[in-house]
Structure formats: C-alpha cells, structure tokens
C-alpha cells in the first residue's frame, strides 16, 4: 500500500532507519537498498513516499522508497514548525483528560474518606498505571524491532482494571496507538467503564462484599 511519511531515525553506518507515518501505529523499518533512487542520501526529516509491506510476521517495512516531490522545495524551518501545528490538537486532547484525572482523583479521595475504598487500593492503582505504561513502551519497542507484540486486548484490560492514566501518558510519550481510531475508541470505552464502576462503588450503588 502506498504511504507517505517522515524519516525520523537513520543509522548511517548500518544503512537502515525508521519512517513515521500518521496512518501506521508503529514506525516503519527502511533499509538503504529499499530506496529506488540510487545516490539518495537519507537524512532525518526527509519526506518519503514508500510501499508498506509485512514480512514474516514482523513490523511494517518500507520498499520502493523515494523522496517526496516537494522535498527539495520545502524550507528547513518547516520541519521546526511541525510540532507547533500539532500543538492545538494536543492541547485540545489534554484538557479533557486533565479534567477527567481531577474528577477521578476526587472520586478516589471521596471513596477513601467514606471508607468505601481502602487506602491500599490507591497504591494498587498507581502500580497498575506504571505497569501499563511500561507495557506500552515494550510494545512500541517491539513494533520497531519486529519482535513479538503485546495483544491489544491485553492493553485494553490493563486500562479497564485502572491503568488507563498510565496508558494515556504512554500513548502521547511513545506516540503509540494514537493514530488507530478503533483502538482509541475502545480505550476511551475502558476509561468510561472503569470510572462508572468506581463511581457506582463509591456511590453505594453496588453493595459492599
């Protein structure tokens, strides 16, 4: 499938690197021999056209790679402006999450104050978030290296159990899974389901055991 992305890493001595494409969750492996234009000197920041393939169950790989037509005309300062163009979107997605985290913290605090939630549960939830964060990081690294991946259902179960704050941080920090609409829709469903379950417990809609 034809794609276009940006070269975000290049190992000159080893002759390979990775292309970042907004339509693909994992960075795409590319080797020097996969460039169709001989004599091309790959540089980080280049816009590239390529064909996406999958070989042997590994992560995505780029073939028939060539510089995008507008590459030579694009000024260097445009690369520095790219994060600025994404910042409004980042700000708009961060505000709802910040409000959700404040509400979640208030809900947990009220649950501890009323005795519905034991204080040790706060430590367990923190550990779940840390675990989820590291699982996301492992999966991102595995995608880049072509190793065995973590099942998406496992990531969703960790979020549902209470690790969703760690998942959200990992998604932004590692830029992992955020471009997959279906995955993110299920992720937000797990967040809402967890919040509803905690709210029902704290509100005594569910009888204590």
Closest listed residue to residue 157, CA positions, set 124, 132, 182, 127: 132
Give residue 18's domain range.
Answer: 2-67
Does residue 148 lie in a domain region? yes
Residues 99 and 152 in one domain: yes
Residues 37 and 97 in one domain: no
Give the number of other CB atoms < 10 A from CB of residue 131: 14
The per-residue pLDDT for 163 is: 94
Residues 40 and 107 in one domain: no
The per-residue pLDDT for 195 is: 93
How many whole angstroms separate alpha carbon 173 and alpha carbon 111? Answer: 30
Residues 51 and 18 in one domain: yes
Does residue 31 lie in a domain region? yes
Residues 13 and 93 in one domain: no
How many whole angstroms separate alpha carbon 191 and alpha carbon 148? Answer: 26
The per-residue pLDDT for 196 is: 94
Residues 196 and 110 in one domain: yes
Residues 100 and 49 in one domain: no
Domain count, the chain: 2
Closest listed residue to residue 164, CA positions, set 93, 104, 86, 95: 104
pTM above 0.75, yes or no: no
- Cβ burial, residue 21 (10 Å; 0-12/13-18/19+): buried
Look up the CATH number of the domain holding residue 39: 2.40.50.140
Give the number of other CB atoms < 10 A from CB of residue 4: 13
Does residue 23 lie in a domain region? yes
Does residue 180 lie in a domain region? yes
Tell me the two tokens of residue 138. Answer: 């492992």
Residues 40 and 116 in one domain: no
The per-residue pLDDT for 91 is: 47
Residues 63 and 104 in one domain: no
Does residue 74 lie in a domain region? no
Tens digit of pLDDT at every position of the chain (209 positions):
788 889 999 988 888 899 998 888 888 888 888 887 776 788 888 888 888 888 766 778 888 888 887 544 454 455 444 544 544 445 446 788 888 899 999 999 999 999 999 999 999 999 999 999 999 999 988 888 778 889 999 999 999 999 999 999 999 999 888 888 999 999 999 999 999 999 999 988 877 65
Closest listed residue to residue 68, CA positions, set 48, 93, 92, 38: 48
The beta-strand segments (E) located in 27-180 are 28-31, 47-54, 60-67
The per-residue pLDDT for 57 is: 67
């Amino acid at each position: 499938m034809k794609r276009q992305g940006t070269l975000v890493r290049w190992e000159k001595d080893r002759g390979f690197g990775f292309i970042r494409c907004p339509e693909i969750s994992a960075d795409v492996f590319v080797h020097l021999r996969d460039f169709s234009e001989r004599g091309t000197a790959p540089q980080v920041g280049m816009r590239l056209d390529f064909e996406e393939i999958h070989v042997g169950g590994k992560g995505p790989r780029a073939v028939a790679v060539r510089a995008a037509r507008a590459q030579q005309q694009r000024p260097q300062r445009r690369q520095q402006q790219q994060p600025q163009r994404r910042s409004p979107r980042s700000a708009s997605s961060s505000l709802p999450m910040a409000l959700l985290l404040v509400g979640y913290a208030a809900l947990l605090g009220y649950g501890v104050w009323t005795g519905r939630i034991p204080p040790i549960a706060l430590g367990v939830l923190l550990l779940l978030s840390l675990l989820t964060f590291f699982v996301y990081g492992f999966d991102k690294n595995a995608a880049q290296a072509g190793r065995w991946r973590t099942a998406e259902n496992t990531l969703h179960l960790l979020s549902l159990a209470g690790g969703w704050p760690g998942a959200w941080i990992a998604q932004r920090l590692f830029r992992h899974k955020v471009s997959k609409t279906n995955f993110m829709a299920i992720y937000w469903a797990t967040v809402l389901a967890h919040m509803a379950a905690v709210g029902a417990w704290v509100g005594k809609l569910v009888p204590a055991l």
